[in-house]
A = this chain, B = another copy of it.
Amino acid sequence: MVIVKTATSIDDLKNLLKGKVGRTSSIGFVPTLGALHEGHISLFERAKRDNDTTIVSIFVNPLQFTEEGYRDYPRDIESDSVKAEEAGVDILFAPSTEEIFPPGYQAEFSLPHLFKALETQKIVWHYKGVLAVVLKLFNIVQPDRAYFGMKDPHQLILIKKMCRDLNLPLEIVSCETIREEDGLAKSSRNRLLSTSERSASAVVYKALCLAVEAAKVGGVSAMPEGLKILRKTIEAEPLARIEHIEISDDETLEPAGPGSKGAFAYAAVSIGGKRLTDNVRFKLGQS
């Protein structure tokens, strides 16, 4: 079996990078939780196009999961290695939990205003965990560019703000969400859907597009109308249950309003108990 070059410790990684340090060549980095799918692969391909060396990390970060979620998260490093190799990834970084969070680790990083805006979602602790590990991985890998999908807009906006506020010396590249033919965002969860659930799940992207269309045409005053359309369209699908919807400013994460330049409509929907999330970004008219 062909398996990509793999480092399981920070020292391993530094050894693999030797000769690339003091480097004129560029490093592209894609942090993942493993369970790689086409969405990840498209990020690897983009990183490969832009950089001399592509590094992918696989780390199931305990700080961003509930205990149960952490335990149940799918882990298949062998299958992931093959996929990474096939995609042309140069180095896989798959550290242990202790390597990343050794005993005595106590650092806490926060973006108080953005976290405040996220409080309604009650998952600030999750994003705090994401930022903690991403910050460490950036410092370990020292990439020139890091690649993230647009599928989690909150995460993307937080990471970009962290980089700006800390002057981290890398570029965050956000990549379009990869979709099925009917618009459903690709996700490892999709294969858990039954045929009828799979067909019902197209409603998420459809509803987001309709909402954004309404919001864009009507300008800032049309946000409540956009949100109404989003809600009604999803509610019209009997198998779908709304967990959370919003139309938010893409810098402040507050509800989109008169000061907003860009915004995104976001939906988290449960279909047959499977949580599907998606979003559509849009600009607000500066006349």
A residues bordering B, Cβ < 8 Å?
A: 10, 22-24, 105-114, 135-136, 139-140, 142, 161-162, 165-169
Asked whether A108 and B110 contact (CB < 8 A) given A139-B168, A169-B142, the answer is: yes
Cα–Cα, bound, A106→B251 (Å): 13
**20 more A-B contacts (CB under 8 A) besides A105-B165, A107-B166?**
A22-B22, A22-B24, A106-B113, A106-B114, A106-B165, A107-B109, A107-B110, A107-B111, A107-B162, A107-B165, A108-B109, A108-B110, A108-B111, A109-B109, A109-B110, A139-B166, A139-B167, A140-B167, A140-B169, A142-B169
CB distance from A154 to the nearest CB of B (A): 15
Question: Which residues of chain B are near A139, meaning CB under 8 Å?
Answer: 166-169
A136 touches B167 (CB 8 A): yes
Question: Which residues of chain B are near A22, meaning CB under 8 Å?
Answer: 22-24
Question: Which residues of chain B are near A114, meaning CB under 8 Å?
Answer: 106
CB distance from A69 to the nearest CB of B (A): 24
Cα–Cα, bound, A24→B24 (Å): 9
Asked whether A135 and B10 contact (CB < 8 A) given A24-B22, A108-B112, A111-B107, the answer is: no
Question: Which residues of chain B are near A162, meaning CB under 8 Å?
Answer: 107
CB distance from A167 to the nearest CB of B (A): 4
CB distance from A38 to the nearest CB of B (A): 31
B136 touches A166 (CB 8 A): yes
